[in-house]
């Protein structure tokens, strides 16, 4: 994964140079790599990454500068692919595929959200408010970057795993969340943060979450149940 990691860093450097990185949030399968460095490289956090790189564009937008993001990705060797069916776009490279996501609003819509300032569109998805409302700024390889609070990342992973169409992706989401979640329970501040975030989410989300966690991790399930008291 050396080539993928180098490309990942180049993306971060370019977006940071254009002042975009501070206004978006890294989410998805590359976050554990950032958490691993943040926590001092514990063996409990996997180095495994994915070929998909996802960024959350908050709603409302935190960026006021006009930046030609498609041009940045073009210069990095990406092709912009747009679905003729629904207009969703992604940036494709032999080593990585990049997508921009944003929290779904209201009843939702079948078309992407246009982000004029960045000259991109973003796919609206449910549950991303959990990440938007609970994120933190940290540093990765010298670059300042926004990522979900680790506990928010874990809870979100569990919730959205049930919406995965492919079984292997569902299992991967659950295992990633289990591994990181059980590590967080060993850290006092992170335990409290998990309790705080869990208590803040809607009751329906809690019910859906507990159904999944019950089969995935006895430790996390027991802790979340105790957080309700």
Q: What percent of the chain is predicted at pLDDT more than 70?
A: 99
Residues 22-38: what's their mean pLDDT? 96
| Tens of pLDDT, residues 162-205 | 888 788 889 999 999 999 999 999 999 999 999 999 999 999 99
What is residue 101's three-state secondary structure? strand
pLDDT of res. 108? 66
Among residues 59, 49, 100, 62, the alpha carbon closest in space to that of 78 is found at 100
DSSP tag of 165? S
Q: Indicate if 154 and 144 belong to the same structural domain.
A: no
| Tens of pLDDT, residues 77-110 | 999 999 988 889 999 999 999 999 999 977 767 7
| Tens of pLDDT, residues 204-228 | 999 999 999 999 999 999 999 998 8
Name the pLDDT band for 141 (thresholds 50, 70, 90). very high
User: What is the model's pTM?
Assistant: 0.95
Q: Indicate if 124 and 160 belong to the same structural domain.
A: no
Written as six digits, the tokens of 220 are 């996390």
Residues 1-23: what's their mean pLDDT? 95
Domain span at residue 185?
150-229
Phi, psi of 81 (to 5 degrees): -110, 125
Written as six digits, the tokens of 177 are 């969340």
pLDDT of res. 126? 92
Name the pLDDT band for 25 (thresholds 50, 70, 90). very high
Q: Which of 99, 132, 148 is the last residue of a domain?
A: 148
Among residues 93, 57, 190, the alpha carbon closest in space to that of 198 is found at 190
Q: Which of 130, 148, 166 is the last residue of a domain?
A: 148
Q: Indicate if 144 and 163 belong to the same structural domain.
A: no
pLDDT of res. 153? 98
Residue 2 has pLDDT above 90, yes or no: no
| Across 47-51, 58-62, 87-91, least confident range | 47-51
pLDDT of res. 85? 84
Give CA–CA dist 190/35, Å, rounded. 12
Q: Indicate if 140 and 181 belong to the same structural domain.
A: no
Residues 38-61: what's their mean pLDDT? 91
Q: Indicate if 30 and 109 belong to the same structural domain.
A: yes
Q: Indicate if 116 and 167 belong to the same structural domain.
A: no
Residues 39-68: what's their mean pLDDT? 92
Which CATH number fits the domain that encloses residue 107? 3.30.460
């Amino acid at each position: 994964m050396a080539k993928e990691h180098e490309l990942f860093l180049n993306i971060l450097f370019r977006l940071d140079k254009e002042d975009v990185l501070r206004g978006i949030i890294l989410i998805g399968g590359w976050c554990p790599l950032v958490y691993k460095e943040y926590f001092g490289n514990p063996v409990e956090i996997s180095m495994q990454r994915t070929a998909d790189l996802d960024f959350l564009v908050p709603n409302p937008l935190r960026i006021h500068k006009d930046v030609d993001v498609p041009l940045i990705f073009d210069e990095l060797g990406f092709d912009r692919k747009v679905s003729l069916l629904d207009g969703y776009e992604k940036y494709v490279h032999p080593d990585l595929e990049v997508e921009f996501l944003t929290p779904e609003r209201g009843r939702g819509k079948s078309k992407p959200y246009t982000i004029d300032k960045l000259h991109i569109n973003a796919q609206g998805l449910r549950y991303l408010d959990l990440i938007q409302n609970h994120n933190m700024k940290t540093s990765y390889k010298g670059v300042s970057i926004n990522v979900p609070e680790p506990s928010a990342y874990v809870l979100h992973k569990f919730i959205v795993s049930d919406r995965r169409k492919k079984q292997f992706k569902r299992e991967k989401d659950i295992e990633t969340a289990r591994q990181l979640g059980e590590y967080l329970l060993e850290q006092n501040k992170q335990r409290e943060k998990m309790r705080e975030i869990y208590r803040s989410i809607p009751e329906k989300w809690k019910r859906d979450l507990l159904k999944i966690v019950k089969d995935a991790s006895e430790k996390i399930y027991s802790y979340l149940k105790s957080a309700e008291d």
